[in-house]
């Protein structure tokens, strides 16, 4: 019986389903590393379907924890806003996206991650610790990023590039 490695299976499956980007997000969080996905992609170059995999892999290349983070990072780059760090350590936590020089933290509130009371409480504890340490905390949802991208970028720009 012929089997494929998990990374290759994920890459071949992603473009074949309706929301391949979300599927790759879950695979990266739970089962495979980006390095494994990239190695599998390099091995499949020239094969049928490789062209459809490329945009999904490029989307995952920021190694962000979620599709929302990747979308926001892309929006920041297009807006010419730099100086951010993804996954900046802060105490026992990581800041989703941070502007360390300006002490601005951006956190994403998604239903998928905050689906139990302990995770929700932990996120609130982290947010309070950030504010107590002098950080400006901005919280966004998937809807904010997809329905109001210009407003999100403007709010971040105002926080990190004050007049």
Which CATH number belongs to the domain containing residue 103 in this structure?
3.40.960.10
In a shared domain, residues 150 and 73:
yes
Mean pLDDT of 87-105: 93
Range of the domain at 39: 6-60
Q: How far apart are CA 75 and CA 70, in angstroms?
A: 9
- Mean pLDDT value across the chain: 83
Mean pLDDT of 28-50: 79
In this predicted model, what pLDDT tens digit does every residue of 109-129 receive, in sequence order? Answer: 765 444 567 877 888 899 999
In this predicted model, what pLDDT tens digit does every residue of 58-94 receive, in sequence order? Answer: 666 655 556 778 788 889 988 999 999 988 999 999 8
**Considering the domain boundaries, does residue 1 fall inside one?**
no
Give me the number of domains the chain comprises: 2
In a shared domain, residues 92 and 49:
no
In a shared domain, residues 53 and 126:
no
**Considering the domain boundaries, does residue 46 fall inside one?**
yes
In a shared domain, residues 55 and 71:
no
In a shared domain, residues 37 and 92:
no
Asked if 109 and 123 count as a contact pair (C-beta separation under 8 A), the reply is yes
**Considering the domain boundaries, does residue 132 fall inside one?**
yes
The pLDDT value recorded for residue 114 is 47
HEC sequence for the chain = CCCCCHHHHHHHHHHHCCCHHHHHHHHHHHCCCHHHHHHHHHHHCCCCCHHHHHHHHHHHCCCCCCHHHHHHHHHHHHCCCCCCEEEEEECCEEEEEEECCCCEEEEECCCCCCCCHHHHHHHHHHHHHHHHCCCEEEEECHHHHHHCHHHHHHHHHHHHCCC
In a shared domain, residues 76 and 40:
no
Q: Which residues contact 148 (CB under 8 A, 6 or more apart)?
A: none
In a shared domain, residues 53 and 88:
no
pTM: 0.64
In a shared domain, residues 117 and 144:
yes
In a shared domain, residues 55 and 72:
no
Q: Which residue has the higher pLDDT, 147 or 120?
A: 147
The pLDDT value recorded for residue 64 is 56
């Amino acid at each position: 019986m012929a089997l494929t490695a998990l990374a290759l299976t994920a890459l071949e499956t992603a473009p074949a389903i309706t929301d391949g980007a979300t599927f790759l997000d879950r695979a990266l969080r739970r089962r495979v590393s980006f390095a494994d996905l990239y190695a599998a992609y390099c091995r499949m170059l020239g094969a049928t379907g490789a062209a459809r995999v490329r945009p999904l892999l490029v989307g995952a290349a920021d190694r962000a924890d979620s599709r929302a983070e990747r979308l926001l990072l892309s929006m920041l780059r297009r807006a010419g806003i730099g100086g951010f760090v993804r996954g900046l350590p802060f105490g026992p936590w990581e800041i989703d996206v941070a502007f360390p020089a300006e002490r601005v933290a951006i956190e994403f509130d998604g239903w998928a991650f905050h689906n139990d009371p302990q995770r929700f409480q932990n996120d609130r504890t982290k947010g309070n610790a950030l504010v107590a340490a002098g950080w400006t905390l901005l919280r966004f949802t998937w809807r904010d990023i997809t329905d109001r991208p210009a407003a999100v970028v403007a709010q971040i720009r105002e926080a990190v590039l004050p007049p």
